[in-house]
Amino acid sequence: MLELQNLCMQFENAKHATLKNINLQIPEGSFTCIVGASGCGKSTLLNLIAGLTLPSSGSILLDGQPISGPGRDRVMMFQESALFPWLTVLENVCFGMKINNVPKAKQLEIAGHYLDMVHLSRFRDYRVHELSGGMKQRAALARALCMDSKILLMDEPFSALDKQTTNLLREELAQIWQQTKKTIILITHSVEEAVFFADRVLFLSEETANIAGEYVIDLPRPRHIESPEFIRYRQDILYQVRNEVEKIEHAEEMAG
């Protein structure tokens, strides 16, 4: 279990605290989505959990132990795939394992397993510039999964992709989560995406610099964004967060 205790983040030159007294418990194996308007502190929160940034005050505990920096128990995936352009897909996927001195044969076995899972086996020898945006994110996901960390942190991983690719990748990730039973914390500005994935959606408010809404999504999986129950959840959340995320709501309605 991951536990945030009175977590505060005040950047040096900022007038207001970005995060104020966040208290949160994230159970092992859960899928948590954090939504909020642009600039509300979502990435800041994820970077703190990743240990890439240190909080102004408060603490983060993983299974009771304080987090004081990056660790192998947490792996991060970004909006841009952050793959190494001079390496092939397979070399990229193996990179972290190589650093961790995993024996070569084992690397290939593990990489093969996860490349299959993200449907990239046929492209293992491609270089990054030969991949589409969706394939890059698949490769980044395979690389993250190979690290065998307990927690997968995802910062708007599909935001730069077109709608069709996004839908496909969402379905794949939902299945991968069910297969791997990892704890996933995914940041998104899309309420639709949050309802699609999450056990629990947390709304991070810019106004209060804290979690201002918590919604348990009790829908069977696989979930269908067109189903009346799904639409009800989405509308409900959008209605409750409307004051802060009108822009998002509008954008989502435009997108259909």
Ligand X SMILES: Nc1ncnc2c1ncn2[C@@H]1O[C@H](COP(=O)(O)OP(=O)(O)O)[C@@H](O)[C@H]1O
Which chain residues interact with Mg ion by CB under 5 A?
42-43
Residue with tokens 């909020």: 36
- Single-letter code of the amino acid located at 17: A
> Residue 48 or 97: which CB sits closer to ligand X?
48
Least CB distance from residue 16 to ligand X, whole Å? 9
Binding status of residue 78 toward ligand X by CB under 6 A: no
Least CB distance from residue 160 to Mg ion, whole Å? 12
Alpha helices in the chain (DSSP H): 42-50, 89-99, 104-117, 133-146, 163-180, 191-197, 228-240, 242-255
Per-residue H/E/C for 105-169: HHHHHHHHHHHHHCCCHHHCCCEHHHCCHHHHHHHHHHHHHHCCCCEEEEECCCCCCCHHHHHHH
> Residue 176 or 209: which CB sits closer to ligand X?
209
> Residue 11 or 230: which CB sits closer to ligand X?
11
Nearest residue to 176 (alpha-carbon basis) of 34, 73, 1, 31: 31
Query: According to CB under 6 A, which one of 10, 11, 150, 165 is a site residue for ligand X?
Result: 11
Binding status of residue 55 toward ligand X by CB under 6 A: no
Binding status of residue 205 toward ligand X by CB under 6 A: no
> Residue 20 or 42: which CB sits closer to Mg ion?
42
Note the residues at the interface with ligand X (CB under 6 A): 11, 14, 18, 36, 38-44
